Amino acid sequence: MREKVYLAGPLGFSEAGQLFHQRVLSDLSRLGFELLDPWALNESDELAAALAEPDLNRQRQRLAALNVQIGAVNVEAIDRCDWVLANLDGVDVDSGTAAEIGYAFARNKRVIGYRGDFRFSCDNLGSVVNLQVEYFIRSSGGTIYRRWSDLMHVLSE
């Protein structure tokens, strides 16, 4: 049975992020992992229609209902996964990603972090990212990789 990996991260919010996300999907699929990708799991005509809704009050109502569904889908996917790969890039770790890391830790899932972003984004010089996020990752049995090639090398072994 293939290991199931939940992909936590904000890559779907930008064009550049989407391009790197395609690489992540390709590389991990090539290594034989089953990917639980929240961007794909939550893609729907209903969401596209809500985002295109011209009436902002109606859009807000439609999205509020969908947000509950999206959150539940992501929780269920984390519950089903064997481990989580969290993208930690950005000026600060994305708040949704941080929440997913905390939830995964509470569910005894190993979390592996990737931060290719070289900007300083931590509480002090003793950490790579927010110290609580880093604590959850390391205490889960995971680590944080600073180069994609290093992470791919470890996963391929």
How far apart, in whole angstroms, are the C-alpha atoms of residue 56 and residue 53?
7
Percentage of the residues of the chain whose pLDDT score is greater than 70: 100
The two structure tokens encoding residue 87 = 């993208």
The pTM assigned to this predicted structure is 0.93
Query: CA-to-CA distance for 69 and 105, rounded, in angstroms?
Result: 22
CB 134 within 8 A of CB 103: no
CATH number at residue 56: 3.40.50.450
| Residues 18, 19, 24, 26, CA torsion sign | positive
Q: Tell me how many domains the chain contains.
A: 1
Contact 114, 85 (CB under 8 A): yes
pLDDT of residue 122: 84
Chunked in runs of 10, what are the mean pLDDT values of the chain (157 residues)? 94 93 97 96 92 95 96 98 97 96 98 93 88 97 96 94
- So what's the pLDDT on residue 101? 98
The predicted pLDDT at position 21 comes to 96
Containing domain of residue 140, as a range?
A: 4-156
> How far lies 79's CA from each of 35, 37, 44, 69, in Å?
13, 13, 22, 15
The answer to whether the beta carbons of residues 137 and 144 sit under 8 Å apart is yes
Phi and psi at residue 12, to the nearest 5°? -75, -5
Query: Could you tell me if 83 and 5 are in contact, meaning their C-beta atoms sit under 8 angstroms apart?
Result: yes
Measure the CA–CA gap between 154 and 150, rounded to whole angstroms: 6
- The whole-angstrom separation of Cα 124 and Cα 86 is 21
Residues 51, 144: Cα–Cα separation, whole Å: 34
Alpha carbon of residue 87 to chain centroid:
6
